[in-house]
Structure 1
Amino acid sequence: MSHLLTPLQAGSLCLANRLIMPPMATSKAEADGKVSRAILDYYQEKSAGGYFSLIIIEHSFIQQAGKASERQLSVADDSVIDGLQELAAVIHRNGSKAVMQINHAGSAAITEVTGVRPVGPSAVKNPRKGGIPHELSQTEIHEIVAEFGAAARRVKQAGFDGVEIHSAHGYFLNQFFSPLTNRRTDEYGGDVLGRIRIHLEAIKAVRAAVGGDFPILLRLGACDYAEGGTTATDSQIAAKEFAKAGVAILDISGGFSGYTIPGNNEQGYFAPLSAAVKQVVAMPVIVTGGVIDAQAAEQLLALGKADLIGVGRAVLQDSLWAKKAIESFQ
């Protein structure tokens, strides 16, 4: 049997194959962040046939101050749960598992969208976008951590199979992880263990909200590809702590480089990062980035670079991509 078609068990999450659809923002939600007909139709089309073992829903804001863009999905209050139940049901009917990604934009948010001043670990400019944020007090940090827990509770109530905490692409938790934006001198700054203190608190809050056997995934911006930024070594240290904290799957992407690496278009361009993380943890690792043909996905698995392959842009362009990929190995 091909590697791509091999089932995988991660905690209580049983995946039929190794192909997943990663979170990609659609800007198709209602203006208030509720699930829209357009969102339901989009995920119906992309998940048809159940060829992806797992669909990870695009990043969804946990509070208004953390909203990244117009028409972003919301998981910020209980009024969204009914719509999210419909969304989970669409994917389940098609035969795939569904996980929701929860996020706070931090200093990447803009006041025109949120209505409030952006916040961050330190009063330094976000390298990707935005101005200088309000530097959070420890009390404010604890409040946001609690919002991650509340958002995860809603995800579980809506019937999803797991929740993914977003710490990549220069968003809030990634801003704490990266020395480019975290200049704090308290226990939330300094070395890697200080900079991931908030991650561990968020994982703990999520676990308290969802119970012991609900899978928690974490998307890690594993390298900034920038002078003075995070490195693969930092991510190995972080990954070991996330494993101890009970994360079921680590989802590897870029940090302040975003979901690309400047000047690198090879298929699976984040594979050196996922391979480095796999050296130090036993949990399954997802790699996403530039995979456009099934043979490349198979090769990444065969070489042990990752356990699960996320295919994004190829699926945006061709909704039948996953069907063709799976059938090519049957």
Structure 2
Amino acid sequence: MSYLLEPLQVGTLRLSNRLVMPPMATAKSESDGEVSQAILDYYMEKSEGGYIALIIIEHSFIKQEGKASEQQLSISNDSVVKDLRELADVIHRNGSKAIMQINHAGSATTEEIIGTTPVGPSAVANPRKGNVPHELTDEEIEDIIDAFCNAARRVKEAGFDGVEIHSAHGYLLNQFFSPLTNKRADEYGGDVHNRIRIHLKIIKAVRTVVGEGFPILLRLGASDYMSGGTTIEDSKIAAREFEKAGVNILDISGGFLGYTIPGSTEQGYFAPLTEAIKKVVSIPVILTGGITEVQAAEQLLAEGKADLIGVGRAIFKDSKWAQKAMESLR
């Protein structure tokens, strides 16, 4: 019996196996964030044969002030939908499901990239960038919630199989979640329930616009691994609330630490986080983090550490990794 080859049904989403290609920025889009031929070619190559059940597209900015880097993909206006539909079609023709990740960088960007002062929950220095953002007003927060909502609508209109809300790796929603960057004294700051208030409002708004059957994923930076930052105990509370709010799959990664743990050579190094979260939710959980061997993926699934396995850099380096892995299990 192979755990990795097992199909999984999540609401309306049927996955042929448990392998996920997590979002990885390519910096291959056009200068205005539109889909380029290079992006179409890249995802055509990665999805060939349909060996990867689920491909989560690289993070895409929901509005200009939330753009993280040059040549980042855009989901910020209706004009991008047509070309994104072509991208979804490329992946579907190869037999994989496609999810699009939507994001706002918050203070994890620069004035050079966005043309204005970066924003954040509080006017405190970003632990990774060092810059001090403009503190968002209530009105500006509502505008960001609307931008996430409109981005999710575009994802559905483009024909993707679901949408993933990004709250990891030190970006805006992670900044609200983390006590390191959220020093607010209003309804968005203080205890963990307040720090995830913006998440819950976004989930509600997104669910309203995409409908009940459309899968919503959330990528959660479940620990900052920094003194005074978010902990797994915070994330267990958040995970339960996200499930109640209507999230269908939780995609677990690091917070301000990013997507790696310095010095860790263990495959599936975020497994302690996914294992703890699986104990408090009933929805599927994705584990990524340094997984390069198919037997490591099998073991993590067999031990109940996660429901789905994300393999990033190994697939990035070798587009045949998934084919070789799946054929080795048959």
TM-score range, shorter chain: over 0.9
Report the Cα offset of residue 130 of structure 1.
4.6
- 1:3 and 2:10 aligned: no
Give the TM-score normalised by structure 1.
0.99
The verdict on how the C-alpha distance between 1:36 and 1:124 changes in structure 2, with shifts beyond 3 A counting, is same
Aligned partner of 1:77 in structure 2 is 77
1:208 & 1:179 partners in 2: Cα distance? 29
- 1:153 and 2:153 aligned: yes
Aligned length: 330
Per-residue deviation, residues 256-290 of structure 1 (Å, max 9, x unmatched): 00000122121000000000000000000001000
Matches within 5 A, 1:278-297: 278-297=278-297
Asked if the contact 1:219/1:250 (under 8 Å) is kept, the reply is yes
Aligned partner of 2:64 in structure 1 is 64
2:37 & 2:319 partners in 1: Cα distance? 18
Asked if the contact 1:106/1:172 (under 8 Å) is kept, the reply is yes
Per-residue deviation, residues 35-70 of structure 1 (Å, max 9, x unmatched): 000000000000100000000000000000000000
- The amino acid across from 1:38 in the alignment is A
Q: Any idea what SS the aligned residue of 1:217 has?
A: strand
Q: Alignment identity in percent? A: 72
Asked if the contact 1:145/1:201 (under 8 Å) is kept, the reply is yes
Q: Any idea what SS the aligned residue of 1:166 has?
A: strand
Asked if the contact 1:274/1:287 (under 8 Å) is kept, the reply is yes
1:265 & 1:88 partners in 2: Cα distance? 34
- 1:107 and 2:107 aligned: yes
Asked if the contact 1:109/1:130 (under 8 Å) is kept, the reply is no
Aligned partner of 1:219 in structure 2 is 219
Q: Any idea what SS the aligned residue of 1:76 has?
A: coil
Aligned partner of 2:240 in structure 1 is 240
Report the Cα offset of residue 10 of structure 1.
1.1
Give the TM-score normalised by structure 2.
0.99
Matches within 5 A, 1:170-189: 170-189=170-189
Aligned partner of 1:50 in structure 2 is 50
Report the Cα offset of residue 222 of structure 1.
0.3
Matches within 5 A, 1:1-330: 1-330=1-330
Report the Cα offset of residue 86 of structure 1.
0.4
Q: Any idea what SS the aligned residue of 1:328 has?
A: helix
Q: Any idea what SS the aligned residue of 1:99 has?
A: strand
1:20 & 1:217 partners in 2: Cα distance? 13
Q: Any idea what SS the aligned residue of 2:217 has?
A: strand
Asked if the contact 1:61/1:76 (under 8 Å) is kept, the reply is yes
Q: Structure 1: which 5+ runs fail to align?
A: none
1:83 & 1:317 partners in 2: Cα distance? 26
RMSD across aligned positions (CA):
0.5
2:144 & 2:86 partners in 1: Cα distance? 27
Q: Any idea what SS the aligned residue of 1:175 has?
A: helix
Q: Any idea what SS the aligned residue of 1:107 has?
A: coil
Report the Cα offset of residue 212 of structure 1.
1.1
Runs of 4+ in 1 over 6 A off after TM superposition: none
1:130 & 1:218 partners in 2: Cα distance? 26
